[in-house]
Structure 1
Amino acid sequence: MMKLLLKIAKREIALLFSTKTTFVFAIVLPFVSMFFFNTLLSNGVARNLPIAVVDLDHSSISRNIISQLNATPELEVTHLPVNQLESEELIRLGKIYGIVTIPKNFGLEIKKGMQVTILNQYNSNVLLPSGLEHKAFSKVIGTISAGIAIEKQIKKGVSVKNAKINFQPILTNNHVLSNPYTNYSYYLNSGFLTMFFQLFVILTTIYSFGSDLKYSKGAKLVKITNGNIISIILGKLLPYTLWFLLVGVVLFISMFVLQDFPMRGNKLTLFVGLFLLILANQSFALLFVSISRSFREALTVGSGFTAVSLSFSGITFPIFGMPIPMQWLSELFPFTHFFELFLDQTQRGIPLFYSYKSVVMLVVLTLFPVTIGWLKLDKLFRKGVYLHRI
């Protein structure tokens, strides 16, 4: 059996370098996607978002506010329009993400101890920039307001310590759970890079098996292996499994070495998770090959399955917020469990014991698809060709 397996594996390696599509799926695109996403989110957090300030006061206090806004890492005051109409035109043209309007007599009213209002407008059509703009603006105005309030109390004879306590008697201790480093490269790239990685695993596997069936080569493989379907499957999968394991290691190097992703958990568990992710996706690819009537249908189902898995992983919307049936459905995707394992063992630093469910589910999702599709796959290879040759 080993000789037959190696014979099929040798044939598959030759096909890898002679078939343009397989070569692109397995060798070219994984590294292109790594370069793209690591470059796209290399800063981790958006910086220097352009905003406009309409200063109708022109006082020392208003100039200080503009200076403070410009000093925050998230914002950059790029425009100083003379009126509200001009600033709103800039936001419609997409040149700025927010407008801060300082009203007339602002500085004078502040000195009189009056409560004043600063208008902040932002474009909520772009969620990330608008959220960062609002957060940075609130922080700056909060700091300036605190300074004014504390200074008034000090002038009345209150000590600096008591003035600070009077202004903010309750302190907060915030902990971010889903993205603890508030770094979008750490969080989003963890999902995007591995999601595209599994896409190439599935498409390469489907293409490897599907192309033989499309061109009526299934019966030839059965003849080469004397009817041993296991040798065909293991022989065709072996080169790609080893190759994608190497690609996964390079992927981890791009994350943890080049991008300096946090690693607070167990490295071996993460590597095992990567290996199981590859096997689980290959298993699903075999299932899609077995239940499809054509090569094109298998590719369509495989790519659709991978794309949908991103939505069910919790990266775009938390799983616990989904309807119960959708939560159950999310358990069927290997990416859901790998992503949870990845976050637990990198950013969250959760003890290994609590990641056992993710590992067990990846093992189950490796065995389950190929088991239920085995009889159809065996029948398909012995027939040697798809029902529809497209």
Structure 2
Amino acid sequence: MRQLLNIAHYEMLHIFKEKILFLMVFLVPLGYAALFGAAYVTAVLNNVPIAIVDLDDSKLSREIASAFANSPHFKVVDDIKTYPELQEGMKNGRLRAGVVIPEHFEQKLARHELTRVLTVYDGSNLIWGYNTRKYIREVFNEFSASSTASYLAGMGYTKNEIRSIMDTVSLNTEVWYNPTFSYTNFLFLGLVMMILHQIGLLSVSLTVTREKERKTWLQFLSAPVPAWKIFTGKAIPYFTANFFNYALLLWFASRFVHVKIGGSLGLILVLGLLYDLVITGAGFFISLHASNSLQVTRYVMLLSVPFFMISGYTWPGTHIPVFINYLARLLPSTWMVLGFRQVALKELDMSYMLPYIRALGLMAVLALLPAVTFAKRLRPRPQGGPVINNGPSYPARWK
């Protein structure tokens, strides 16, 4: 135990001595979370800029314009009056949606003729497009119901008769798990997991490469200390810091970004512990086999974002190609982000979470086994490649 604690103390000294490493381990995760939280703190997309091109200029068309102006979801841009102006506003990003009311709109409705109102919205951004389409439908449905009630009243129907006619079929809609359609709930927790994955994996992956570059790794290999103690001692500071960041970022997300984090606290802790073990074991294994810190940084930065994108967190796994889906199932980030969503948003219990816990548990074992049983021998330096922090070494001159 004393040997293990000495190695852990040695690693902690390096963390506190190197300013960049200290910032990366303790402050960068919170800084990233604060940055992402500031971007998504509004949660619900309101005040969508929209233009109403009223070619009819009738009482009814003005009522439609008022319906959009009174909706909290839209902000009507008043100086857009023609279709070409609408097109230009959509191109330059000043507008995200538009409504074109045709000529003779009120007259055709009075004669019960088919009349079409053109609605356009910007689909180049799926978040804008999805929300705008939903909001436009809400405004038109409400306006249509109000117009129908006014028409029936004009025909002499009483309020009770109108209510009876319009309530013949009643639609009761419930939105489960994320009733406000908050994009903070949808996306932010996934970003938190990506922060933990990126910073945690990179931090652990630099432990052995740092020793190699300073030519001190030989001291660990030649010391009468078993491999598992070397791994455990060097990994404890990073494992502890990463789990601390996990708890800190979840508290920050709940307290300041107002992300919904429900469900069992025990399950949340178990998922975090298993994910942390995977990251720690995998990072140490990478560090053992990497030639230098630059190589580690390149590979970790290169792989982390694609792992998140194919996980199924932001796009349904059922709509991802099969071979990519199989690849995603081999990655711990997939099971972590999806499992955490099941607990935090859906508040599912252990019976539903067993597949996620089993997968992460198996991956933790597979990541830790090669880390604790590594061979204590010095690997020969590969020929070529950059030399980092290793003295005044220069590439050979081309011949």
Q: Same fold (TM over 0.5)?
A: yes
Structure-1 separation of matches of 2:230 and 2:372: 13
1:8 aligns with 2:3: no
Q: Is the 8 A contact 2:221 2:378 kept in 1?
A: no
CA change 1:199–1:325 in 2 (3 A) is: same
1:359 aligns with 2:352: no
Structure-2 separation of matches of 1:227 and 1:88: 72
Which residue of 2 is the match for residue 66 of structure 1? Answer: 65
Which residue of 2 is the match for residue 56 of structure 1? Answer: 55
CA change 1:46–1:34 in 2 (3 A) is: same
- Counterpart mapping for 1:125-140 below 5 A: 125-140=124-139
CA change 1:291–1:207 in 2 (3 A) is: closer
Which residue of 2 is the match for residue 96 of structure 1? Answer: 95
Q: Is the 8 A contact 1:219 1:384 kept in 2?
A: no
Q: In structure 2, the residue corresponding to 1:284 is in which secondary structure?
A: helix
CA RMSD across the alignment: 2.4
Tell me which protein shows more helix as a share of its residues. 1
- Counterpart mapping for 1:1-390 below 5 A: 2-158=1-157, 160=159, 163=162, 166=165, 169-174=168-173, 179=178, 181-223=180-222, 225-372=223-370, 377-379=374-376, 382-383=377-378, 386-387=381-382, 389-390=387-388
Q: Is the 8 A contact 1:30 1:200 kept in 2?
A: yes
Q: Is the 8 A contact 1:288 1:302 kept in 2?
A: no
Structure-2 separation of matches of 1:286 and 1:159: 77
The residue identity in structure 2 corresponding to 1:378 is: A
Q: Please list every run of 5 or more consecutive structure 2 residues that lacks an aligned counterpart in the other structure.
A: 389-399
The residue identity in structure 1 corresponding to 2:53 is: V
Q: How much identity, in percent, do the aligned residues show?
A: 20
The residue identity in structure 2 corresponding to 1:132 is: N
Q: In structure 2, the residue corresponding to 1:349 is in which secondary structure?
A: coil
Residue 23 of structure 1, CA deviation: 2.0
Residue 301 of structure 1, CA deviation: 2.4
Structure-2 separation of matches of 1:300 and 1:122: 40
User: When the two structures are superposed, what TM-score results if normalisation uses the length of structure 2?
Assistant: 0.88
Residue 324 of structure 1, CA deviation: 3.3
Structure-2 separation of matches of 1:159 and 1:296: 79
Q: Is the 8 A contact 1:203 1:302 kept in 2?
A: yes
| Offset from partner CA, 1:53-102 (integer Å, 9 cap, x none) | 11222223222222211222221002332311122111111111112112
Structure-2 separation of matches of 1:169 and 1:214: 77
Residue 137 of structure 1, CA deviation: 1.4
Structure-2 separation of matches of 1:306 and 1:289: 16
Q: Is the 8 A contact 2:228 2:371 kept in 1?
A: no
Q: In structure 2, the residue corresponding to 1:100 is in which secondary structure?
A: strand
- Greater mean deviation of Cα atoms: 363-372 or 84-93: 363-372
Structure-2 separation of matches of 1:301 and 1:178: 36
Aligned residues: 385
| Offset from partner CA, 1:186-207 (integer Å, 9 cap, x none) | 1100111111121100000111
Residue 112 of structure 1, CA deviation: 3.9
Q: Please list every run of 5 or more consecutive structure 1 residues that lacks an aligned counterpart in the other structure.
A: none
Structure-2 separation of matches of 1:175 and 1:82: 38
Structure-2 separation of matches of 1:311 and 1:243: 26
The residue identity in structure 2 corresponding to 1:383 is: L
CA change 1:64–1:232 in 2 (3 A) is: same
CA change 1:230–1:161 in 2 (3 A) is: farther
